[in-house]
Each structure stands twice: as C-alpha cells, then as structure tokens.
C-alpha cells in the first residue's frame, strides 16, 4: 500500500510515517504543498493523508486538484480545526474522512485502513480469498484457520493482491505499490516474493491461490462472497 | 403617537386650528365693528337729514314736515326703518309713518349726546341712534327734544350671519386644503425614511448585507455607517474565526505529537495513561472554549440563512465519515425555510448534534426543521437507546467535565447548548416515539 503523507510539521510527519510503515505501508511524505501536489498527482497513491493547514497550496487546494485530475484514491484529512465548517468543506471538496488533531494513533491507522479497504470494495476488515484470510486490522494471515507468518514485503504483496482480488495485477503495479518512491527497486524481487508466498500459503501446491498470467501479472481468485472491486470507490 | 408623520401632522393640525380660529375671530370682530360703525353713520346721516327738515310750529310744537322723507322706508308702515321725536317728558311729538307704537330707551341721551344702542322690542330687535337736542326759537322759546332713529336689526344680523357663514366656510376649506397639502409634503419628505425602513426589513430576508440606494444628506451618513458596520461585522467575525483556527492549529499539532509519543512502548505504562488523559482533557477544554468563542450568536440585521442546504451538506459529509458503519442521514427540512442564524453557528450546531446522533444512535439520524410562530425549531433524532434518566442535565452542563476522557457526547452537546443559548434559544433532550434520543433546539426569530 502506498500512502502519501502531506503534513508540514516535521515531528508529526515522522510520527505518522513511522506508524504507517509499522502497519506495512510504503510511505512517501512531504511538508511542502507544491511538492505534495506533485506527488499526489504523479505517484501511484493508494491513500493520501493531508493536513488542511499547509502553507502554500493548502490541503483543500491539493484535494481539489487531485479530484479534478480524475484521481479517485481515498483521502483522509488531518485538521486541527474542530469546526464543522472546516471539516465539511474538506469533505465536500473531495476528502473521504477526517481525523482531528490530536488523534489516537490507532484510530488514525484504523481509519486509513478502512478507507483503503472500502475503496477496493471490501466492507469488512477481513479480506478473504478461498481459504486465505487476511486481517488488515491485526496484520495477520490465516490459511484454513492456521496462522501464517509473513515478512513485511510478503504481507504487502499479499495485501495488494487480495485488495485487488479477481483483477490482474502487473509486476510493475505491485512494485509501485509496495515500494516508496526513493527505495531501491527490482521487479525481479517481486517474483521472489510471490514464490515465497506460494510456498507459505500453499505448501503442498494443491490449490494454487496465486495465478500467473504470462506477460501480464498475477491474479488472486475472488470469492463469490467478496464484492466486485471498486464498486464502493469514493468519488 | 409613535410615528414621525403622526407627530408632525398632529402638531401642524393644532397650529393650523389655532391660527384659523384666531384669524376668524379677529376678522369677525373687525368686520362687525366696521358694520356697526357704518350703521351708526347711516343712522346719523338720516338724523341730520330729518333735523334739517324740521321746524317748530308757532305754538312751539315740533313739526317734521318735509315734503318727502329722506328715506321712503320711513313712510311705509312697519318697514323696519323708524324715526321718533320725543319731548322733554319723553312724550312722542312726532313719529314717522312707519313706526307703530313707541321706542323705549333705558337711558336717554343728554343734550348734544349721540347714543347708539340696541333695543329689544316685543317683536323685533332694533338698532337705535338717539340724539338729545335743544331747540331755541326766534321767539326765545327753548325746547328740549330727543330724536330716535332706529332700524330693525334683523337684516343687519342676517347680513352678519351670512358674512360669518362665508368666513368660516372659507377658513375651514382653507384649513382642510392646508392639512391635505401638509399630508402630501410629509409623505414626500419622509419618503426616504420609509424607503430606509423597507430596505432594513428586506435586509433581513436577503442575502446581500447592504443597504442600497442614495439617501438625502441628513440620513446618508447613517446609511453609510450602517453599511460599513454591516460589512465590518462579517469581516471581523471571519477574521476572528480564522485567528481562533490558527490558534487551534498551532496548539493541536504539538499536542498531536505528544499524543503520538504517549504511545511509545519505552515509556512506562504508568506514565502513558496519565499523559493520554491529560492531553485529552486539554483537548476537550480547548475544543469547547474555541467553539464557544467562535459562535457568532444573535446579531442584529443578520440575513436569514437557508436551513436545508447547510443540513444537506452536513448529511453528505457525515455519510462519508460514517460510511464504515453505514449510518443513514435523513434531512427533512422545507426547501424555503430560513432563519436569522449565522451559517457557521448553524453548521456547528447541526454538526455536533448529527455527529452525536450518529455516534450513539442505531444507524439512522433524522434532521428536521420547522418554523413555529416565526421561530426555528430544529430536531435531531436517532434510533438508539435514548438518553439515560438524569443524564440530560449533566450533558447540557456548561463547560467541560474535568474527567471527560475523550471527545464525546458531553462536549458536543455542551457546545450545541452554548450556541443555542447565544441565540437566547432553548435546547431540550427528550426521548422520541421510537425510544431514541431527540435533541430539540428552538431558535427565536428575534
């Protein structure tokens, strides 16, 4: 999951970034409105966390530009202003939720995860595909009720595939969404992650949960129960 | 007598009445005196003419034997013009043919004295001029006579009556016309004030907070100042709210950092909990005071705000926020409903109430607004378990409870109550028909 954090206070930004990374997000961050606007338009963002009280282009300006550019990823606003007028203005401009400062870190994370999930059409915090269950809230993966231990990157890959269950996800897309912008990338590593995931999720090679579509990418089977992707996407 | 026009009109009417009455009385007196004088002159002229044709008979009798009497009326019986000569003992010695009977005077004139009086006779009122004189004949005989010339006062009175009638008619018509003109003048003169009053009223049913148009020099400064005040009023409120927002921003960002630090696993748990609690308390106090301070409250000449758009905006925003829970927000507000409440205050009031209802209700929030006798009645209902008994007092209590651990129902309702109070309104917590909570706010129109 790529998260974009635009917050001008360095300490708070660091704190939020660290919390997000701890939850398995790839995080890009900036304190500048202009830079934030560029990131917001150019990066493959899965969720943006934007402070409303930015200098330069304000948070509202960024949200407006993002929505005008036709980007529909979820946006969560951070605001110090508890007045409803400010919150309503942000939500009307195109944000999907707000968190008022000072916030409980768990609440921020919970809101972010819920937004990402819902943007992909998942109503529940538990993502399911076949007998694989991924609990986004607790970052736990079960196969047939048994816990499976995954590394951070393996988790990110599985989470992305599960959020996009039923869709073909290219290696490039996977790379983009699990790495931060300035991270060393190697798309071959994706193959390694997928191989390891397959080994952990399907040790005896019976069910083959992750399909490989040659030259196009990977696909995780979508359960009949799980909703069609993106039917609940904001905006 | 509470209108300028009524006052001016009343004052003018009294003044006009006094003027007309005095004028009438003075004119009447002058004309009446002038008429008396003319009558006296006429009677005197007649007396001279009679005396001129008088002679004393040889036996000393007074004889008036003109071939023709100076007035033909004197010879026609009971014509209304009479002459009479009396001797020393007031015995008639000659009477004009017109006179039947005699004329009595209360006091007889001295010799050489002209006496002009009015006399009541059984059948008529007479105006009389009596003249006492002494006639000395060539033979040295001395006679004392009194000549009375009289005219019936009826025709004179009739003339005066006619004159009086005409005088008062003309004066009354003039007075009425003056009053009418005065009415028109007042209408025209006070028209700008009426226009100003109309504009002030429309100011309250209009979005634009400005009095338009050009006014006379006397009230233009007032209008200009009012306009300046109106625009400053709004600008100041915006500035003030921005300043409060900046204050919130500059305090809450550091608080957010502290809140994050309070989660640090390296801190002993015994320190983390109090840190969190104190931060929550600071935050509640800050929120409550800032929201309270930002409330505009009742303002004069405020343009009424449409209720429905604000409620619908909030419903849309909150639907997003509560998407996870799937909370439904129903807005039941008549499209044209407006109330003189600041838009920011309305949004805060409804926002706090709707958020509360969503947080503690069962998944459906209903906002309704009605006009009741000009006042605005707002209701926010939820389908939860309603307020607990005895809880309502505590929830509406002013200020934040010191031990409030998180932003909650207490704060939201306290802020809402504070806003309603700033409009001298009332807020009530009740249980609705379905057992859910209902908060009812009544905002008076004026």
Tell me how far apart the alpha carbons of residues A62 and A57 are, in angstroms, rounded to a whole number: 7
Whether the CB of A12 is below 8 Å from some CB of chain B: the reply is yes
* Residue % of chain A over a pLDDT of 70: 95
ipTM of predicted complex: 0.82
Closest chain A residue by Cα to residue B355: A84
The answer to whether A9 contacts B259, with C-beta atoms less than 8 Å apart, is: no
Shared domain for A135 and A54, answered yes or no, is no
Count how many Cα atoms sit within 13 Å of the Cα of residue A191 in the half-sphere of its side chain: 7
> B251 near B286, Cβ under 8 Å?
yes
The answer to whether A82 contacts B290, with C-beta atoms less than 8 Å apart, is: yes
∠ CA(B423), CA(B293), CA(B229), 5° rounding?
A: 70
| DSSP-based three-state secondary structure for B142 | strand
| DSSP-based three-state secondary structure for A109 | helix
Tell me how far apart the alpha carbons of residues B324 and A118 are, in angstroms, rounded to a whole number: 8
Domain contains A230:
no
- For A104, the closest of B258, B259, B314 (CB atoms) is B259
Whether the CB of A234 is below 8 Å from some CB of chain B: the reply is yes
**Residue A141, beta-bridge partner list:** A134, A148
**What per-residue confidence (pLDDT) applies to B334?**
94
Last residue of a domain, one of A87, A120, A153: A120
Q: What average pLDDT does the segment A93-120 reach?
A: 91
Whether the CB of A56 is below 8 Å from some CB of chain B: the reply is no
**What per-residue confidence (pLDDT) applies to B388?**
73
For residue B154, give every residue at least 6 positions away whose Cβ sits within 8 Å of its Cβ, in sequence order, or none.
B80, B124, B125
Closest CA to B369 of B412, B430, B308: B308
Shared domain for A136 and A107, answered yes or no, is no
Residues of A in contact with B294 (CB under 8 A): 83
Mutate to test the interface with A, among B251, B278, B312, B320 (most CBs of A within 10 A): B320
Shared domain for A72 and A109, answered yes or no, is yes
Whether the CB of A120 is below 8 Å from some CB of chain B: the reply is no
Q: Which stretches within B211-306 are classed as H helix?
A: 220-261, 269-294
Which residues between 272 and 301 in chain B have a beta carbon less than 8 angstroms from any beta carbon of chain A? 279, 283, 287, 290-291, 294
Closest CA to A76 of A55, A102, A94, A54: A94
* Tokens standing for residue A128: 């399911």
Residue A170 DSSP label = -
Shared domain for A7 and A114, answered yes or no, is yes
Residues of A in contact with B317 (CB under 8 A): 87-88, 91-92
Which residues between 214 and 273 in chain B have a beta carbon less than 8 angstroms from any beta carbon of chain A? 241, 245, 248-261, 263
Residues of B in contact with A16 (CB under 8 A): 260
Tell me how far apart the alpha carbons of residues B240 and B237 are, in angstroms, rounded to a whole number: 5
Residue A215 DSSP label = T
Whether the CB of B347 is below 8 Å from some CB of chain A: the reply is yes
* Tokens standing for residue B241: 């709210």
Q: How far is B213 from chain A (nearest CA, A)?
A: 34
Q: Which stretches within B295-338 are classed as H helix?
A: 307-321
Q: How many domains in chain A? A: 2
Residues of B in contact with A15 (CB under 8 A): 256-257, 260-261
Q: Look up the CATH number of the domain holding residue A136.
A: 1.10.10.10
Q: Give the dihedral sign, CA B253/B255/B256/B257.
A: positive
Tell me how far apart the alpha carbons of residues B304 and B338 are, in angstroms, rounded to a whole number: 5
How many angstroms from the chain centroid is the CA of residue A89? 24
Q: Angle at which helices A59-68 and A84-93 pack, to 10 degrees?
A: 20
Last residue of a domain, one of A120, A148, A176: A120
Q: How far is A186 from chain B (nearest CA, A)?
A: 34
Shared domain for A7 and A111, answered yes or no, is yes
- What's the order of all strands across the beta sheet hosting A140-143? A126-129, A132-135, A140-143, A146-148
**What per-residue confidence (pLDDT) applies to B61?**
67
Tell me how far apart the alpha carbons of residues A166 and A222 are, in angstroms, rounded to a whole number: 5
Q: What is the pLDDT of residues A164-199, one digit of tens each?
A: 888 899 888 888 888 887 777 777 888 888 888 888
**What per-residue confidence (pLDDT) applies to A181?**
78
The answer to whether B348 contacts A12, with C-beta atoms less than 8 Å apart, is: no
Q: For tokens 């399909």, name the residue.
A: A211
**What per-residue confidence (pLDDT) applies to A232?**
43
Residue B432 DSSP label = -
Shared domain for A144 and A80, answered yes or no, is no
| DSSP-based three-state secondary structure for B190 | helix
Closest CA to B102 of B122, B72, B74: B122
Shared domain for A130 and A170, answered yes or no, is yes
**What per-residue confidence (pLDDT) applies to B60?**
64
The answer to whether B255 contacts A234, with C-beta atoms less than 8 Å apart, is: no
Residues of B in contact with A104 (CB under 8 A): 259
Residue B262 DSSP label = T
DSSP string, B235-249: HHHHHHHHHHHHHHH
Three-class DSSP labels, A76-97: EEEECCCCHHHHHHHHHHCCCE
Q: How far is A173 from chain B (nearest CA, A)?
A: 27
Domain contains A228:
no
**What per-residue confidence (pLDDT) applies to B400?**
46
Shared domain for A12 and A114, answered yes or no, is yes
Whether the CB of A83 is below 8 Å from some CB of chain B: the reply is yes
Q: How far is A205 from chain B (nearest CA, A)?
A: 37
Shared domain for A143 and A114, answered yes or no, is no
* Tokens standing for residue B400: 């934040």
Ramachandran area for residue B206 (φ above 0: left; ψ -120 to 50: alpha; else beta): beta
Residues of B in contact with A78 (CB under 8 A): 256
Closest CA to A181 of A1, A31, A2: A2
| DSSP-based three-state secondary structure for B289 | helix
Q: Look up the CATH number of the domain holding residue A88.
A: 3.40.50.2300
- For A84, the closest of B253, B290, B348 (CB atoms) is B348
**Domain residue limits at A58:** 2-120
Last residue of a domain, one of A68, A93, A120: A120
Query: What is the rounded end-to-end Cα distance, in angstroms, of chain A?
Result: 19
> A62 near A50, Cβ under 8 Å?
yes
Which residues between 18 and 47 in chain A have a beta carbon less than 8 angstroms from any beta carbon of chain B? 19
Q: What is the pLDDT of residues A30-88, one digit of tens each?
A: 999 999 999 999 999 999 999 988 888 889 999 999 999 999 999 999 988 878 888 99
**What per-residue confidence (pLDDT) applies to A225?**
54
Q: Which stretches within B74-152 are classed as H helix?
A: none
Domain contains A229:
no
Residues of B in contact with A102 (CB under 8 A): 252, 255-259, 279, 283
Closest CA to A200 of A164, A136, A133, A154: A154
Q: What is the largest CA-CA distance in chain B?
A: 165
Domain contains A25:
yes
Tens digit of each residue's pLDDT, chain B (446 residues) = 678 888 888 998 899 999 999 999 999 999 999 989 999 999 999 998 888 877 777 666 677 666 667 788 888 888 888 888 888 888 888 888 888 888 888 888 888 899 999 888 777 788 999 999 887 777 777 888 889 999 988 888 888 899 999 999 999 999 999 999 988 998 898 888 888 888 887 776 666 677 888 888 888 888 888 888 888 887 888 888 888 888 888 888 899 899 888 888 888 888 888 888 888 888 888 888 888 888 887 777 777 889 999 999 999 999 999 988 889 999 999 998 988 888 889 999 999 999 989 988 889 999 999 998 888 999 999 998 888 776 776 677 655 443 444 444 457 888 888 899 889 999 988 888 888 899 999 998 76
The answer to whether B350 contacts A86, with C-beta atoms less than 8 Å apart, is: no
Tell me how far apart the alpha carbons of residues B398 and B414 are, in angstroms, rounded to a whole number: 6
Shared domain for A195 and A169, answered yes or no, is yes
Shared domain for A130 and A109, answered yes or no, is no
The Cα-based distances of B270 to A103, B20, B246, B267, B422 in angstroms read 20, 99, 33, 8, 42
* Tokens standing for residue B99: 């006179």
- For B314, the closest of A88, A104, A118 (CB atoms) is A88
Shared domain for A139 and A98, answered yes or no, is no
């Amino acid at each position: 999951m790529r998260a974009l954090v635009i917050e001008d206070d360095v300490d708070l930004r660091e704190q939020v970034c660290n919390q997000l990374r701890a939850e398995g997000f790839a995080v890009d961050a900036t304190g500048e409105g202009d830079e934030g606007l560029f990131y917001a338009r150019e990066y493959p963002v899965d969720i943006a966390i934007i402070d409303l009280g930015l200098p330069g282009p304000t948070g509202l300006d960024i949200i407006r530009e993002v929505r005008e550019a036709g980007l529909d990823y979820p946006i969560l606003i951070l605001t110090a202003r508890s007045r409803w007028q400010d919150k309503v203005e942000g939500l009307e401009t195109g944000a999907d939720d707000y968190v008022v400062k000072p916030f409980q870190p768990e609440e921020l994370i919970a809101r972010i995860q819920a937004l990402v999930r819902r943007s992909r059409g998942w109503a529940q915090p538990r993502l399911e595909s076949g007998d694989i269950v991924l609990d986004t809230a607790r970052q736990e993966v079960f196969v047939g009720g048994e816990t499976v231990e995954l590394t951070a990157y393996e988790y990110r890959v599985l989470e992305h595939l599960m959020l996009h269950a039923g869709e073909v996800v290219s290696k490039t897309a996977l790379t983009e969404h699990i790495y931060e912008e300035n991270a060393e990338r190697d798309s071959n590593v994706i193959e390694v992650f997928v191989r390891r995931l397959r080994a952990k999720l399907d040790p005896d090679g019976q069910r083959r949960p992750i399909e490989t579509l040659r030259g196009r990418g990977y696909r995780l089977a979508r359960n009949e129960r799980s909703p069609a992707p993106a039917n609940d996407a904001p905006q | 007598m509470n209108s300028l026009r009524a006052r001016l009109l009343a004052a003018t009417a009294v003044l006009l009445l006094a003027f007309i009455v005095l004028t009438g009385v003075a004119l009447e007196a002058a004309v009446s005196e002038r008429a008396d004088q003319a009558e006296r002159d006429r009677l005197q002229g007649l007396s001279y003419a009679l005396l001129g044709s008088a002679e004393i008979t040889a036996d000393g009798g007074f004889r008036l034997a003109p071939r023709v009497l100076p007035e033909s009326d004197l010879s026609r019986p009971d014509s209304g013009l009479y002459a009479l000569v009396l001797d020393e003992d007031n015995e008639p010695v000659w009477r004009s043919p017109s006179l039947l009977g005699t004329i009595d005077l209360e006091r007889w004139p001295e010799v050489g004295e002209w006496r002009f009086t009015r006399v009541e006779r059984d059948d008529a009122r007479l105006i009389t001029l009596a003249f006492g004189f002494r006639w000395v004949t060539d033979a040295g005989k001395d006679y004392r006579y009194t000549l009375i010339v009289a005219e019936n006062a009826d025709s004179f009175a009739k003339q005066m009556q006619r004159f009086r009638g005409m005088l008062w008619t003309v004066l009354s018509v003039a007075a009425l016309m003056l009053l009418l003109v005065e009415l028109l003048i007042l209408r025209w003169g006070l028209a700008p004030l009426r226009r100003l009053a109309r504009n002030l009223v429309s100011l309250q049913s209009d979005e634009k907070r400005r009095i338009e148009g050009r006014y006379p020099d006397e009230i233009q400064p007032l209008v200009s100042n009012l306009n300046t005040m109106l625009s400053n009023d709004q600008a100041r409120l915006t500035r003030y709210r921005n300043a409060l927002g900046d204050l919130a921003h500059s305090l809450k960002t550091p608080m957010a950092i502290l809140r994050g630090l309070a989660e640090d696993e390296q801190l002993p748990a015994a320190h983390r909990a109090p840190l969190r609690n104190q931060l929550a308390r600071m935050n509640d106090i800050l929120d409550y005071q800032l929201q309270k301070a930002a409330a505009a409250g009742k303002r004069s000449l405020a343009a009424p705000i449409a209720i429905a758009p604000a409620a619908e905006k909030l419903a849309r925003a909150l639907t997003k926020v509560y998407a996870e829970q799937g909370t439904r927000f129903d807005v039941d507000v008549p499209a044209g409903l407006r109330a003189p409440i600041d838009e920011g205050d309305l949004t805060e009031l409804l926002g706090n109430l709707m958020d509360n209802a969503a947080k503690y209700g069962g998944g459906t929030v209903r906002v309704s607004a009605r006009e009741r006798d000009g006042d605005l009645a707002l209701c926010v209902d939820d389908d939860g378990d309603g307020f607990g008994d005895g809880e309502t007092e505590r929830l509406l209590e002013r200020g934040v409870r010191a031990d409030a651990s998180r932003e909650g129902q207490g704060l939201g309702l306290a802020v809402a109550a504070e806003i309603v109070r700033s409009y001298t309104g009332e807020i009530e917590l009740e249980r609705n028909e379905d057992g859910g909570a209902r908060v009812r706010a009544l905002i008076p129109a004026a």
